[in-house]
Chains A and B, each alone.
Chain A
Amino acid sequence: MKNKTLMLVPFIIFAVLCVFLLKGLFGNPKEIETGRLGQTMPAFNLPDLMDENKRWTDKDLLGDVYLLNVWGTWCPTCLIELPYLTKLRGQGVKIIGLYYEQNYDPDFGDSFDLAALQREVKGMLSRTGDPYQFNILDLNRTLALDLGVSGAPEHFLVDKNGKIILHHTGDINERVWRAKFAPKLLELK
């Protein structure tokens, strides 16, 4: 009898190993941990995308739960999610854009044309719908680096006290929103 239970041990080890490996197989390798999760928004002072004279700081964002969307007009996945984000805005979600300028690199002598970018953004948002309360222009990607952003689109759910609750890499759609964001948002309210 004792021997029979002992015989089960290798089988149990095998089963546990299978579960562990299968989890790895079906996991999302893009789902990387973020250093900033659970911490407050890093300090920043950046201009508004549409109004050069307006500047935003981390203090301005306190007091409301909001979704920070890192995006750019050059990013095809961002284009795809814009209509869904616009729908979310209609449902009362506060969405703030962090414009992630990809191609500008002063080391290579690139010049930056703000007026052209503003036209491009306006054109794109008039076609897809505009989900943003406002857009922050992160020309040198400094805030993006402090947030641990690796590309666009990425999303941060931030609570009233500026604490980062969620970091999502990739687009937001109905499925992602229901599974990941909606429960967290309910918790916050």
Chain B
Amino acid sequence: MKKLFIVLLTIFSVSLFAAENQYQFNSAQEEQLFRELTAELRCPKCQNQNIADSDAVVAKDLRDKVLELVQAGNDKDQVVDYMIDRYGYFVHYKPPVTPLTLLLWILPLGFVVLGFVFILLTQKKQAKKKAQWSEADEQKLAALIAKYKESA
């Protein structure tokens, strides 16, 4: 069992190694940028896989394109913009700040603030009610208690 495990592990690590070495880079910087981009770009064909992980044809095409663009000296934003031009915002895992996505940040904060205001207001109201308790109210209450005791 253990031997089998070791054999399997060897096979898989070899194939992984092969995949890693498929791309040739001119510098460590280039490789770093390529890894960042392929991790951040989403495969348009598969739901929720980045293009580094996906085996889809389009993911391979996009990887090749990223490499080509990186080697041509494009920076990160330029490559991301190139992809968004073709595949829309969907292709990038980091959503841009647009009025619609801003709502996702503001809305929860708004709910918290609103809840706080609500609590404050109700407490104030309650305090007001307590303050309005008068001598006449006190006498009325005493009369009611007396009446209850009589009937009991």
Known: A149-B58, A151-B56. A35 touches B85 (CB 8 A): yes
Known: A102-B57, A105-B60, A145-B62. A150 touches B44 (CB 8 A): yes
B84/A35 in contact, CB under 8 A: yes
- The tally of residues in A whose CB lies under 8 Å from a CB in B reads 18
**Considering the chains assembled together, what is the distance between the CA atoms of A127 and B116 in angstroms?**
69
Tell me which of B6-14, B87-95, B141-149 binds A: B87-95
A107/B61 in contact, CB under 8 A: no
Interface of A is mostly: loop
**Considering the chains assembled together, what is the distance between the CA atoms of A35 and B60 in angstroms?**
19
**Is A34 an interface position by the 8 A CB rule?**
yes
Known: A150-B58, A151-B58. A36 touches B45 (CB 8 A): no
B87/A148 in contact, CB under 8 A: yes
- The tally of residues in B whose CB lies under 8 Å from a CB in A reads 20
Expressed in whole angstroms, the minimum distance between the Cβ of A73 and any Cβ of chain B is 15
**CB-defined interface of B70-90 with A at 8 Å, one 1/0 digit per residue?**
000000000000001111111
**Considering the chains assembled together, what is the distance between the CA atoms of A34 and B44 in angstroms?**
10
B88/A35 in contact, CB under 8 A: yes
**CB-defined interface of A141-184 with B at 8 Å, one 1/0 digit per residue?**
10011111111000000000000000000000000000000000
B65/A32 in contact, CB under 8 A: no
**CB-defined interface of A123-154 with B at 8 Å, one 1/0 digit per residue?**
00000000000000000010011111111000
Expressed in whole angstroms, the minimum distance between the Cβ of B122 and any Cβ of chain A is 11
Which chain A residue shows the least CB distance to B48?
Answer: A29
Known: A102-B57, A151-B58. A146 touches B86 (CB 8 A): yes
Residue numbers of A with Cβ under 8 A of B are: 29, 32-36, 102, 105, 107, 141, 144-151
What are 7 pairs between A and B in contact, CB < 8 Å? A29-B47, A34-B88, A148-B44, A148-B86, A150-B45, A150-B58, A151-B57
12 additional A-B residue pairs with CB within 8 Å, beyond A141-B61, A150-B45: A33-B88, A33-B89, A34-B87, A35-B84, A35-B87, A35-B88, A36-B86, A141-B58, A145-B62, A145-B65, A148-B86, A151-B57
